Amino acid sequence: MTESFDVVLPPGYRVEDVLHFHSRDLESVAEQVTPALIRKGVMLDGVPVVLSAPLSGRPGPISCSADADGELTPSLRQHIHAALLNILGLRIDPEPFLDAVRTDPVMGPLARRRPGLRIVQSATVFEALTWAIIGQQINLSFAIALRRTFILQAGRQHSSGLWCYPEAADAARLAVEDLTSRKFSRAKAETLLRFAGLVASGELDLTPGPDNSIERIGQRLLAVKGIGPWTVNYGLLRGYGYADCSLHGDVAVRAALQRLLGGETRPDIARAEQLLQQYRPHRTMAAAHLWASLAPEE
Write out pLDDT tens, residues 94-153: 999 999 999 999 899 999 999 999 999 999 999 999 999 999 888 999 999 999 999 999
- Measure the CA dihedral 86/87/90/93, to 10°: 90
- The reply to whether 98 falls in a domain is no
Distance of alpha carbon 25 from alpha carbon 161, whole angstroms: 17
Distance of alpha carbon 13 from alpha carbon 115, whole angstroms: 10
Say which CATH number the domain at 75 has.
3.30.310.20
pTM of this structure? 0.93
- The reply to whether 46 falls in a domain is yes
Q: What is the DSSP letter of 295?
A: S
- The reply to whether 220 falls in a domain is no
- The reply to whether 7 falls in a domain is yes
Distance of alpha carbon 206 from alpha carbon 210, whole angstroms: 13
- The reply to whether 139 falls in a domain is no
How many domains does the chain contain in total?
1
Structural domain of residue 78, as residue ranges?
2-92
- The reply to whether 22 falls in a domain is yes
Note down pLDDT in tens along the chain; length 298 residues: 899 999 999 999 999 999 999 999 999 999 999 999 999 999 999 999 999 999 977 889 999 999 999 999 999 999 999 999 999 999 999 999 999 999 999 899 999 999 999 999 999 999 999 999 999 888 999 999 999 999 999 999 999 999 999 999 999 999 999 999 999 999 999 999 999 999 999 999 999 999 999 999 999 999 999 999 999 999 999 999 999 999 999 999 999 999 988 888 899 999 999 999 999 999 999 999 999 999 876 5
